[in-house]
Amino acid sequence: MTTELIHIGFGNVLAMNRVIAMAPPNSAPTKRMVQEGKSNGMLIDLTSGRRTKAVLIMDSGHIVLAALAPETIAGRLTASRGG
């Protein structure tokens, strides 16, 4: 299996084949998941100080914060696959 790297803003790149789900950060369960990730040391903040627009859940249990919307990240993934 090849690793598919996608630029998620501000010089940050993510291995999309390791992502389980993407969600907007405004729901209570997502906020709770981010807080648990922070307290467990499993939170990776790739926003570069910008507002969080997407929360990505990785297969390793890490929670990744991104400054791009989930739709934008999904669009870049689709474009990289030639679709």
CB atoms within 10 A of CB 5: 12
Residue partners of 39: CB distance under 8 A and separation at least 6: none
Give the global pTM. Answer: 0.93
- Read off the pLDDT band of 83 (50, 70, 90): confident
CA pair distance 8, 66, nearest whole angstrom: 7
- pLDDT reading at 81 higher than 90: no
Determine the average pLDDT of the residues in 30-39.
Answer: 98
Cβ-proximal residues to 53 (8 Å cutoff; 6+ apart), any chain: 24, 25, 66, 67, 68, 69, 70
Above 80 in pLDDT, residue 5?
A: yes
Q: Which tens digits make up the pLDDT trace of 35-59?
A: 999 999 999 999 999 999 999 999 9
